[in-house]
Amino acid sequence: MKIKHHDLTLKIEPELGKLKARDILEVSGDGELRFYLGNRFDIISIKQGKKSLDWEVEEEGKLTTRYMVKDRDRKMSPVEINWKGNLSSFQGYRVSIIREDLVELSGFCWWFPTIEPQSQFESFTYDLKVDIPENWTIVTPGESMGENSKYRYTRKIEDIFLCASPLLETYQKECCGVNLELHIPKDMIRFKEVLMDDFSSSIELCTKLFGPLKKGNGGIGIVSPRGKDGAEWGFERDGLWVVGDLFTKYLIDNDWEVMGLPKSLSLHETIHGWFGIGVDFKEPWLAEAITQYLEVILTTMMYDKADLDKKYFHSYRERVEKHLAEDDRPIKEYTFLDNMYTHWYLKGSWAFRDMEAAIGRDRLLELFSTIYSDHVGKTITYEQFKEIIERNLDIEPDFLTHWFERKGFTPIYWKPDNFR
């Protein structure tokens, strides 16, 4: 059983912290229709045509409940699920925030009806209509086909993101054939030029190294007015990147440095337009390892500072070794439910730092460019990526196995005295 398409209508009342939804599901397959719904939501009704259907709870989890629809006519589609709930709190990387002046919803997974609650990489298409207060700005992947407070979007996605607020201003700029949109809180308007320059510089450098961005895969940036509860660094959502205003202000106030090292606000999430979205990796830890490595290397290029990469990777190594003393699992065993940042991002990026020491930076960047041109718009697995690396590079046969599938932290090639 698979959900192929959502025709989703949302009515949001921010001042009350309430949401009501009608989700018409197109399904395929002969099995029972099971779906998950976040525990903050309640089912109002389930229908198939004019017929009301019953449902039963199959499993209650910490965050979600699994339901089974009863008496569904398997020769007919679709099924309509009506549900409601209260949204009033920050929920980490699967963001779901509603306050009087801000609505953010991220991910069908865990929160909206879905078949695969443990993965935010389920793919389907959706039509989205949103009813919010007038004079609000709404940002979400896809093209608007509505006016005022009602919007309709159709797009194949890995998950959904929606940000709506009366606090946002929008600025546009053309860069490398991409129409950039920057949405920022009104109280940050004085920083619009430096923020847009950072965004466009990231696009320009990635385009120069890897080729043109696939149309529809990027160009929208949001500095979300989340305040103190939304201080996480950011995330990418199929064609846009998002970061909280607290971190943005921190960077600006500290001359674009973190722990004394230069840092771009947009670079990491922009790179995902090429690796993670442009070329989709079935295993998210591989996308993050590649992107974190590229973030360091491209930061070094953007700021033109000698030895900047060594300073970054030295700090990563210290953090990784400290974490390994507590949890030494291989990278590929970590999930989104774990504290995976140290392994996926930092230890994972060291795999490519080590690879660079064997073949040189230029050769590695050329290989990433080739991977992008050959696989843009496609999904590749870790095993396929490993085969590409082993076919094209003269390195240890078990190099990627050593880094991603085994415990520990032991660079094979990298030495301070022979690093190229």
Task: Give the per-residue pLDDT at 238.
Answer: 67
Q: Band the pLDDT of 143: cuts 50, 70, 90.
A: low
Largest CA distance in the chain: 74
Per CATH, which fold does 275-420 belong to?
Neutral Protease; domain 2 (1.10.390)
Q: Band the pLDDT of 419: cuts 50, 70, 90.
A: very low
Q: Return all residues near 388 (Cβ < 8 A) that are at least 6 apart.
A: 371
- Mean pLDDT for 28-56 is 88
Task: Give the per-residue pLDDT at 306.
Answer: 84
Task: Give the per-residue pLDDT at 241.
Answer: 85
- Mean pLDDT for 122-151 is 73
CA triplet 407, 409, 411: central angle to 5 degrees? 130
Q: Give CA separation, 22 vs 11, 130, 385, in Å.
A: 9, 11, 40
The model's pLDDT over 319-368, given as tens digits with 9 standing for 90+, comes to: 999 999 999 999 999 987 688 899 999 999 999 999 999 999 999 999 99
d(CA 130, CA 103): 11
The count of residues in the chain is: 420
pLDDT at 275 over 70: yes
Task: Give the per-residue pLDDT at 150.
Answer: 57
**DSSP per residue, 222-253:** EEE--GGGG-S--EEETTEEEEEHHHHHHHHH
| 142 vs 241, higher pLDDT | 241
Check the CA dihedral 322-328-334-337 and report its sign: negative
- Mean pLDDT for 185-196 is 94
* pTM score: 0.85
Q: Is 177 exposed, middle or buried (0-12, 13-18, 19+ CB in 10 A)?
A: exposed
Q: Give CA separation, 18 vs 13, 40, 204, 234, in Å.
A: 5, 11, 41, 25
- Mean pLDDT for 383-403 is 95
d(CA 67, CA 34): 6
Task: Give the per-residue pLDDT at 149.
Answer: 47
Strands of 102-106's sheet in order across: 96-99, 102-106, 161-165, 137-139
Cβ contact 229:260 at 8 Å: no
Rg of the Cα atoms in the chain = 22
- Other Cβ atoms less than 10 A from the Cβ of 121: the count is 16
Tokens 């965004």 correspond to 199
The model's pLDDT over 154-187, given as tens digits with 9 standing for 90+, comes to: 666 656 778 889 999 999 999 999 889 999 999 9
Q: H helices of 281-347, where?
A: 284-303, 308-324
**What are the tokens at 400?**
């990627």
Q: Mean pLDDT lowest for which of 245-249, 387-391, 402-406?
A: 245-249
Task: Give the per-residue pLDDT at 266.
Answer: 93
CATH of domain 167-261: 3.30.2010.30
**DSSP per residue, 120-163:** TT--EEEEEEEE--TT-EEE-SS---S-TT----EEEESS-EEE
Domain ranges of the chain: 2-165, 167-261, 275-420
The model's pLDDT over 86-100, given as tens digits with 9 standing for 90+, comes to: 876 665 555 666 778
Q: Band the pLDDT of 139: cuts 50, 70, 90.
A: confident
Task: Give the per-residue pLDDT at 99.
Answer: 79
Pairing of strands 51-52, 220-224: unpaired
Task: Give the per-residue pLDDT at 232.
Answer: 62
Q: Band the pLDDT of 127: cuts 50, 70, 90.
A: confident
The model's pLDDT over 71-91, given as tens digits with 9 standing for 90+, comes to: 888 887 799 999 998 876 665
Q: Which CATH number fits domain 2-165: 1.20.120.400, 3.30.420.40, 2.60.40.1730, 1.40.20.10?
A: 2.60.40.1730
